[in-house]
Structure 1
Amino acid sequence: MTGACGPLAHGEDVAAHSHDFGQLRYAASGALVTTTRAGTWVAPANRITWVPPRHVHSSRSHGETEVRLLAVPATEAGRLPAEPSVFVASALLREAFLAMTGEPDPARAGLLLEVVLSELVRAPQEPLRLPEPADPRLKAVTDLLDADPANPATLAQLGHRTGASERTLSRLFGSELAMSFPQWRTLLRVQRAVLELGDGTSVTHTATRLGWANPGSFIDAFTALVGRTPGRYRAEAAG
C-alpha cells in the first residue's frame, strides 16, 4: 500500500496486522507509535518508521496524525534493517518520500524509491526501542507504568499490586527484556518525552509530567539515550 492514511484522531488504534512487503511510515503531522513483538517505537514528525515484511505490527496515534505509507517490495527490503526501526528524515528523504506517495508514473516512482532507500541506508536511527514483555507477571507491571509513566512506585510496590515478588520481577526484566527495571522505566519515560517535546511542551514541564525529580536529571537521561538535549530535540521538532 502506498498513499495516505488518516487523519487519525489522538489515541486512535490501528489493529495488529502484517504485509508480505516492507512498509515505511511517516507522520506528516502528529506522531505514530508502532508496536511489534520485538518492542515499541515512537516516531514524531521528521522521523520515518520501517516495518520489515511479515512483521506483525499495530499502531497508535499521538495528536491528530496524518500518516503517509510507502510499500517497499520484499526484493528491496534486505537493504534495510531486519528489525523495525525509526530513522531521522533528512529534507531530501522527506521530500522524495512524499513525492513518491502521490506518484502515478511507475518509472518515476522507481527512481524516487531508489532515492528513499539510498537516503535511509545513510540516515541515523533513533535508539529508542522499548522491549515488550511476554510473561504475564511482567506485563502486568509494565502495563501499570505504560498507563502512568510518572508512577514513582518501586518494583516491590508494583509487584505487591500485581501479585509477583520483587525478586521474580527483577529476574524477568533481566532475562526477558535484557535490562533492569530502572532502565526500562527510564526508556519508557524518554519515549514519552519525545512525544511531549514534539508537541512543543517545555523541557521543565515534560520533566515534571513524566516523573523526574528535577529538569537536570531529565536532561541527563534524555541526552544519554537520544544523543542530544531535550531542548535541541524540541527545537528540531518545531523546525
Structure 2
Amino acid sequence: MPEIRHEPIAPTRSQWLASGAEISAHRHDDHQIIYAARGVLTVTTDAGSWVTPGNRAIWVPAGTVHAHRAYGSLELHLVGLPADSNPLSLDTPTVLSVAPLLRELIIEYTRGPDSAGPEHDRLLAVLLDRLRASPQQPLHVPTPTDPLLRAVCELVRASPGDNRTLVDLGRAVGASDRTLSRLFRRDLGMSYPQWRTQLRLHHALILLADRTPVTTVAHRCGWSSASAFIDVFRRTFGHTPGVGGV
C-alpha cells in the first residue's frame, strides 16, 4: 500500500461516510475496534480483506496498515484502545459478532468520546466484556503470497460469479489442479471452494449495500439460484439477506 499515513492515536468517534468513500492506507500505534452500524465496510490489509455488515465489528491490532471503503451510506463507529491493553489477545485483524447490547454500547461510547470520568470508564469496561464474549466470524478473504496462486485468485476476484473449476483455472495459469489445491491449503489454510465462497459472500454484501435485488446478487455471485444463495447467507450470518440493510 503506497503513501501510508501514520496516525499514532486511534480515534474514538462516530462519523458518516458516503457510499464509495475511502479512507486511505494508514496505521495507528493503538488498537482499534471498527463498527458499521449501517451500510457495509471493507477493511483491507496486505494479508487480505475483511467485510463488516451491521451485526459485525472488526478488531484491528496496533501497527496494522489498513484502508477502508464504504458501501451504502455508512454509519461508522471507531473505538481506540491503548497498545499496552489487548483485551482480546488478538494480533491479527478479526471480525467479531455484534449482539444488540454490544451494538448499543459501541454507539453510546463513541457518541461522547471526549467525556471522561468513572461513568465513561464503566461503559468501556462493559463494552470490552461483551466484546470478549463475541464469537469470531470467518469473514476474511485472504490474499495469497504465492505468485501462481495470486494469479488464480485475481482471475476469480475479477468475476466472483465465475464457475470455472481448478482444472480450468489451472489451464489459464499453466498449473495442475493438484498443484493449485495444495497451494490453497498451504498458503491460505483453506480449500479453493471455501476461499471462493468467502469471496462471493464478501461481494454479495457489497451488492446488497448498493440495493441490488437478492436474485441479481445470487446470479452475479455464482449461486445456482436465489434460494441456494439465501441458504449459505443464513448459515453464515444467522439471518436472510435484505437489500440495503444487508
How many residues in Structure 1 have an aligned counterpart in Structure 2?
234
Letter in 1 for 2:136: Q
**What is the alpha-carbon distance in structure 2 between the residues aligned to residue 18 and residue 173 of structure 1?**
29
Aligned 8 A contact 2:87 2:128 in 1: no
Q: How does 1:79-228 map to 2 (within 5 A)?
A: 79-103=88-112, 104-107=114-117, 108-197=119-208, 201-224=212-235, 226=236, 228=238
How far does residue 203 in structure 1 lie from its aligned partner after superposition?
4.3
Cα gap change, 1:169 to 1:61, in 2 (>3 Å): same
Q: What RMSD in Å do the two structures reach over aligned CA positions?
A: 2.7
After TM superposition, give the deviation of residue 8 of structure 1 in Å.
4.0
Give the equivalent residue in structure 2 for 1:9. 19
Assess, with a 3 A threshold, how the Cα gap between structure 1 residues 79 and 167 changes in structure 2: closer, same or farther.
Answer: closer
Letter in 1 for 2:158: A
Deviation at 1:58, TM superposition (A): 2.3
1:39 partnered with 2:79: no
Question: Shift of the alpha carbon at 1:18?
Answer: 2.1
Q: Does 1:21 align with 2:30?
A: yes
Give percent identity, aligned residues only: 41
> Alpha carbons of 1:171 and 1:124: their partners in 2 closer, same or farther (altered >3 Å)?
closer
Distance 2:31 2:67 in 1: 14
Change (3 A) 1:182 1:135: same
From 57, 62, 81, the equivalent of 1:53 is 62
Give the distance between the partners of 2:232 and 2:178, measured in 1 at CA.
26
TM-score by length of 1: 0.83
Q: State the SS of the aligned residue for 1:218.
A: helix
Residue segments in structure 1 that go unaligned for 5+ positions in a row: none
Label 1:222 to 1:6 Cα distance change in 2 as closer, same or farther (>3 A): closer
* C-alpha distance 73-47 of structure 1, shift in aligned 2 (>3 A): same
Distance 1:139 1:63 in 2: 29
Q: CA deviation at 1:194?
A: 3.5
- How much does 1:150 deviate? 0.3
Deviation at 1:134, TM superposition (A): 1.1
Query: Are the counterparts in 2 of residues 133 and 176 from structure 1 also a CA contact under 8 Å?
Result: yes
Which runs of no fewer than 5 residues in structure 2 stay unpaired? 1-10
What SS does structure 2 have at the residue aligned with 1:74?
Answer: coil
Q: Contact 1:30–1:66 at 8 Å: present in 2 too?
A: yes
Q: Distance in 1 between matches of 2:109 and 2:125?
A: 10
Q: Secondary structure at the match of 1:106?
A: coil
Write the deviation string for residues 94-140 of structure 1: whole angstroms up to 9, x where unpaired.
22212222322221432221121111112233222222211122112
Query: Is contact 2:40-2:205 (8 Å) kept?
Result: no
Q: CA deviation at 1:198?
A: 5.3
For the 8 Å contact 1:203–1:215, the answer to whether it is kept is yes
Give the aligned partner of residue 74 of structure 1: 83
Give the 3 Å change call, closer, same or farther, for CA 27–227 of structure 1 in structure 2.
Answer: closer
CA distance in 2, matches of 1:70, 1:133: 30
Shift of 1:156: 3.1
Distance of 1:54 and 1:147 partners within structure 2: 30
In the superposition, the TM-score normalised over structure 2's length comes to 0.81
